[in-house]
Amino acid sequence: MLATSRRKNTAAGLTGFLHRESDIYYQWLEGPEDEVMADLQPHQCR
């Protein structure tokens, strides 16, 4: 998973990190807005 994420994020111009506190996870992404939004689409919580 890490190797795939690094490859895809580099190609899309994205950087960021994943942070965990207890059972809560935070993801921080930086890069071109359209790429960040495209990456978030499949992960949106409802």
Q: Domain extents for the chain?
A: 2-43
Share of the chain above pLDDT 70, in %: 91
Phi, psi of 17 (to 5 degrees): -155, 160
Total-model pTM: 0.65
Share of the chain above pLDDT 90, in %: 43
d(CA 28, CA 19): 8
For position 19, what pLDDT does the model report?
93
